């Protein structure tokens, strides 16, 4: 009975972790099977947006786990997966920023359209101020 509770507890914790990733709306984590937080821990980096630190840590861990040098293929694959997940995070952030920029541009009327609205041309070709 004690073993069953331990297994059930571990399964519940795993399910809670997956629920949290889905609840956060992180579809990339769901698709890749790893979160950005897990990736930063695997690569031992503080900031996932620091490309220089990521590059250095990735190269070191990749080479340290090279199976030809007595390393672990499994760990090397985890290092690769962690880097790929962070790169997906960068792409996701870039796309989000581009979408926000586009939305901001669509919300702001251009200076030309405002000037056009302020003045109207009458039938004689003369401009007259728009009455509000």
**pLDDT tens digits in sequence order for the chain, 132 residues long:** 444 444 444 445 555 554 544 444 467 777 778 999 999 999 999 999 999 999 999 999 999 999 999 999 999 999 999 999 999 999 999 999 999 999 998 887 665 556 555 555 555 555 555 554
As a whole number of angstroms, the distance between CA 58 and CA 79 comes to 7
67 φ/ψ sector (left φ>0, alpha ψ -120 to 50, else beta): alpha
| Helix spans in 36-110 (H) | 36-43, 51-64, 73-107
DSSP state of 48: T
User: C-alpha 62: how far from its chain's center?
Assistant: 23
CB contact at 8 A, 87 and 81: no
Question: What DSSP letter does each residue of 62-77 carry, written as one string?
Answer: HHHT-GGGT--HHHHH
Indicate whether this model's pTM tops 0.85: no
> Residue 35 burial (CB < 10 Å; 0-12/13-18/19+)?
buried
């Amino acid at each position: 009975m004690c073993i069953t509770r331990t297994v059930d507890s571990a399964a519940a914790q795993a399910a809670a972790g997956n629920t949290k990733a889905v609840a956060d709306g992180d579809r990339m984590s769901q698709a890749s099977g790893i979160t950005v937080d897990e990736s930063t821990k695997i690569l031992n980096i503080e900031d996932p947006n620091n490309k220089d630190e990521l590059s250095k840590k990735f190269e070191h861990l990749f080479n340290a786990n090279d199976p030809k040098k007595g390393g672990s293929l499994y760990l090397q694959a985890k290092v690769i997966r962690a880097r790929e997940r962070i790169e997906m995070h960068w792409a996701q952030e870039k796309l989000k920023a581009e979408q926000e920029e586009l939305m901001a541009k669509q919300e702001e009327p251009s200076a030309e359209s405002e000037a056009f609205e302020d003045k109207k041309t009458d039938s004689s070709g003369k401009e007259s101020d728009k009455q509000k």
